[in-house]
Structure 1
């Protein structure tokens, strides 16, 4: 337990926090799990942060079961000034995330780490290279966990060539449309093993396509990560 948590009043701070978590999570085991993951939750002011933010999630249409899961696994995500938290929730809604889907909570966790300005700058970078904002959002909505990863990738050396190769795999029925996110963020060595070698053994044209893509986009020197 963090020392600054133990400095808090047992009766006026720690016990009310534990009781609050128990009222949501139901069992002492889940309460302990939540606290051990993020002990700082015991320092939060329930009336000023946690309770208002839970209300914001409810008003947005987030199911109670998803709110409970968030409080159990990552309670610090709701420990934010309500005005700021409301803006984050609104940004997720504006991206097209449905509040009744689990992806909404995942998107909330990720977007909380990105400022609005940072988000706009990253999206603008991709639109300059030919992607529409809708195309960027489609990928992110399908794979919210990889949002920061995708936005940090090189468009010329990673996004464009892998998308070109992905289209070839998709046209032959080797992959599903939902697999694009993983294909973009996986390491170079995993990409070669899982997509190039694997499908190249099934169809030699895939190897030719990969070679053509590498030459066109000069991505053959992509570092192995």
Structure 2
């Protein structure tokens, strides 16, 4: 581990960040020093700042993937309409988007593109939403939004990603409880007891 820790220190990664990486995924340091020495400057060369948390996330992701797995995941995103620039930008925003399973990626993209009419480029700007639970978070919230839009209670052009990132309490207060007097069934919609079609 010592040579790999030295590599991070030599590239300007603060010791608290290194400790965070060790505690979060010590396996990252089990790599051969030669490979680790190539990978860290590669992440830095992508434009990641060594003092920022996403640098450590990127190192963690890349150290846990073989080149074959990396290329395979990029091919999945290409097949779903993502450009090379979009994939690179998404990795800088949320490195963990590369470790989401292919099945989850495809289900999420299918829902956003075919049910919510989102462009693939839109999803690439908010890659973290692909990590959210489709069944427990995305679909229930989108059903509530559909109801509110159809009733003219919210604007159509709201940022879907922002709504999905709200915590449970914030979402309930802002979109459900606030509108119960005008649409009492809204809570049932959110709880999955009333499904909308179309």
Which TM-score band applies after superposition, normalised by the shorter structure? Answer: 0.5 to 0.7
Q: Is the 8 A contact 1:34 1:72 kept in 2?
A: yes
Q: Is the 8 A contact 1:110 1:148 kept in 2?
A: yes
Partner of 2:3: 16
1:123 to 100, 105, 109: 109
RMSD after superposition:
4.2
In the TM superposition, 1:11-160 aligns within 5 A as 14-48=1-35, 51-52=38-39, 55=42, 58=45, 62-65=46-49, 69-73=53-57, 75-79=59-63, 80-89=65-74, 95-96=82-83, 97=86, 99=88, 101=89, 103-115=90-102, 117-125=103-111, 130-132=115-117, 134=119, 138=122, 140-149=123-132, 151-153=134-136, 157-160=140-143
Q: Is the 8 A contact 2:143 2:190 kept in 1?
A: no
1:21, CA displacement in angstroms?
A: 1.1
Partner of 1:195: 175
Normalised to the residue count of structure 1, the TM-score between the two structures is 0.58
In the TM superposition, 1:168-187 aligns within 5 A as 168-171=152-155, 177-178=158-159, 180-184=160-164
Distance in 2, matches of 1:89 and 1:53, equals 20
Partner of 1:219: 189
Give unpaired runs (5+ residues) of structure 1: 1-13, 201-205
1:147, CA displacement in angstroms?
A: 1.6
Partner of 2:196: none
Distance 1:36 1:155, change over 3 A: closer
1:24, CA displacement in angstroms?
A: 2.0
Q: Is the 8 A contact 1:25 1:72 kept in 2?
A: no
Normalised to the residue count of structure 2, the TM-score between the two structures is 0.64
Number of aligned residue pairs: 187
SS at match of 1:177: coil
